[in-house]
Amino acid sequence: MLAQFQRIGRDLFTRGLVSSHTGNLSIRLRNHIIITRRACMLGDLQEHDLVETGIEKNDRSTPLASAELAVHRAIYQATPAQAIVHAHPPHAIALSLVKTEIVPRCAEGLATIGHVPVLGWHMDVKPGGLAKTIAEALKEHRVVMVHGHGCFATGQLLEDAFNCTTALEECSQVNCLLTSLQAQPASQRPSTA
């Protein structure tokens, strides 16, 4: 189990989808969660960085869990998800500051993640906030964005949720590139001849 957390955590960090001490991962084990420790380094996870706690109730390990524990719990209570990735993909965050929905412009992204709602507009969202809203949205979507903060993606495996996260960032990058190309004055656009 540690190996899958390490692989996904390292990939999130090396792809620039989390900074040194941000983001979190979890999996469901019946009525328990294995979740990354508060402020751990996803790029260098160790055994002590994984915390097991209840989905429904607190125990002695709960204070060590990620600050986003409330969101992970709400998602597991509301959906059949078996794994969650929370990351901070920069292009998707940029789009979340100006859009209420991220719509992939490439066919593969649209097929993988569909339209991605941006939640929490006009709100000061703190870690662990919007838990019920995020969980409700994930009943209909594989990944959602929180305005100016980051994404939550679900799957049957961490790899599935990671795939949604990377697809969101790739599509957001393409959307940003297309916007910058369209914003360029016609006199500066390359000739098609």
What is the rounded average pLDDT of the residues 17-24? 96
Distance CA 35, CA 45 (A): 12
Tokens of 153: 């993606």
Instruction: Tell me the whole-structure pTM to 2 decimals.
Output: 0.92
Distance CA 109, CA 17 (A): 17
Q: Give 189's pLDDT tier (boundaries 50, 70, 90).
A: low
What is the rounded average pLDDT of the residues 30-47? 96
Q: Give 192's pLDDT tier (boundaries 50, 70, 90).
A: low
Is the pLDDT confidence value at 186 over 60?
A: no
Domains of the chain: 2-188 (3.40.225.10)
C-alpha to C-alpha distances, 141 to 41, 101, 123, nearest whole angstrom: 28, 12, 21
Looking at residue 188, its pLDDT comes to 54
Is the pLDDT confidence value at 9 over 70?
A: yes
Looking at residue 128, its pLDDT comes to 79
The pLDDT tens digits for 108-146 are 888 999 999 999 998 877 777 899 999 999 999 999 999
Residue 123, sorted as left (phi over 0), alpha (psi -120 to 50) or beta, turns out to be: beta
DSSP letter assigned to residue 34: E
At 68, give phi and psi (nearest 5°).
Answer: -90, 15
Distance CA 148, CA 136 (A): 19
Looking at residue 124, its pLDDT comes to 79
What angle, 0 to 180 degrees and rounded to 10, lies between the N-to-C axes of helices 2-14 and 158-183? 10
